[in-house]
Amino acid sequence: MAVDDRKVGVFMFLPAAAYIGLLIGAPLLLAVLYAFSDARIGTLGFHFVGLENFRSILQSPSFRAALRNSVVFTVSAQIIVIVASSILSIALEPAFHGRWFVRLLILLPWVAPISLGAIGWKWILDSIYSVITWVLVWAHIFKPYGAPMWLGEPTLAMASVVLVHSWRLIPFSTVIMLAGRTSIPKEIPEAAAIDGAGFWRTEFLINIPMMMPIINVAVLFGTIFTFTDMTVVYILTAGGPFDSTQVLPSLAFATGIQGSDLAAGAAISLFLVPVLILIAYFMLRAAHLAEVA
């Protein structure tokens, strides 16, 4: 009976494992193979060229810019998202009239397709008809036609890309934090309040430490979603101006697909792997700790 069950189990599990193996495992291996080859779109064969691709991309200014931008993009978006979603989850925790509707509005950036949200921002940040520009001119901060082009200047473009991506992730992180917050037994902060702890002491000495595991989950997923994303950059700036918003995934797309150089594109995208491994490690550790507890 037990042996029989095991056979049935393998039989039921195998199709899914094969699907994942063929469409995730195999391409992953191919990505590594391509990175050491001269594969191009349009020709089927390829030869191994050793570290040639890595040598040439490491010398390319675009790649160095993309590597640096990816770090800036990921780290600054995470800081903004964690701070904002901590504040928002505190404000959203107690029940109030119309909470479901407020929650729906807050969640829109996460639940709507990001390519469409990003194009909405492209209109808001338009070089001529930007509503932000209109407000700043109206408030006499800039002269008419004197405001900067939000997506046309390197620093502002990077800030825009970071903020739009944060905008997208804040709801996701908030909902996770909210789940963590509601899982704290109510007696603990209440007891602290009776002992005379104010809002800040309760937050920093009790709530935040107790929520650490869940904040970790939010940061780990947020890092993955940001570091590997190319949608926001592709739609808002396509990496410009002058590669100032180019990130690793968008450069891999520009090189491998648009530029037909599959090998160099694959080599660029492989630079995502160390970060992914690090995150997988932390997640496994978190899962292991949860299992022990």
Partner 1 sequence: MPGGDGRKIGTEALRYAVLAVFVVLLAFPFYWMLVATFKQNIDLYNVENNPFKFNLPPTLDHLKLLFNETRYVRWLGNTALVGVLVVFITLAFSLPAAYALARLTGRWGQRIGIAIFLTYLIPPTLLFIPLSRIVATLGLQDTIWSLVLVYPSFTIPFSVWLLMGFFKSIPRELEDAAMVDGLTRFGAFFRLVVPISISGILTVVIFTFTLVTQEFVYALTFISPESQQMVGVGIPIFLVRGDVYFWGSLMAACLITSLPIALLYNLFLDRFIAGFTVGAIK
Of 79, 83, 188, 287, the one binding partner 1 by CB under 8 A = 287
Length of the chain: 293
Q: Supply the minimum distance, in Å, between the C-beta of residue 133 and partner 1.
A: 8
Considering only 3, 95, 128, 194, the residue that binds partner 1 (CB under 8 A) is 128
Q: Should residue 102 be labelled a site residue for partner 1 when binding is judged by CB under 8 A?
A: yes
Binder to partner 1 among 156, 231, 241, 244 (CB under 8 A)?
Answer: 231
Would you count residue 139 as binding partner 1 (CB under 8 A)? no
Among 55, 79, 129, 141, binds partner 1 (CB under 8 A): 129
283: phi then psi, degrees, rounded to nearest 5: -65, -40
Integer CA distances (angstroms), 164 to 3, 67, 77, 232, in order = 54, 20, 9, 7
Positions 243 through 282 that interact with partner 1 (CB under 8 A): 248-249, 252-253, 256-257, 262, 265-266, 269-270, 272-273, 276, 279-280
75 binding partner 1? (CB under 8 A): no
Q: Does 179 bind partner 1 (CB under 8 A)?
A: yes
Q: Of 73-81, 152-160, 189-197, 215-223, which part binds partner 1 (CB under 8 A)?
A: 215-223
What is the distance in angstroms between the CA of the first residue and the CA of the last residue of the chain? Answer: 33
Which one of 71, 75, 106, 156 is in contact with partner 1 (CB under 8 A)? 106
Count the residues of the shown chain that bind partner 1, applying the rule CB under 8 A. Answer: 102
Going by the DSSP 8-state scheme, the letter that residue 48 receives in this structure is B
Smallest distance, partner 1 to C-beta of residue 184, A:
10
* Residue 151 lies near partner 1 (rule: CB under 8 A): no
Exposed, middle or buried, 266 (CB in 10 Å: 0-12/13-18/19+)? buried
For 46, 73, 242, the CA distances from 160, given in Å and listed in that order, are 40, 10, 15
Is residue 92 a contact point for partner 1 (CB under 8 A)?
yes
19 binds partner 1 (CB under 8 A): yes
| CA–CA gap between residue 195 and residue 190 (Å, rounded) | 9
- Separation of alpha carbons 106 and 101, rounded Å: 9
**Residue 263 to residue 61: CA distance in whole angstroms:** 18
SS3 for 240?
coil
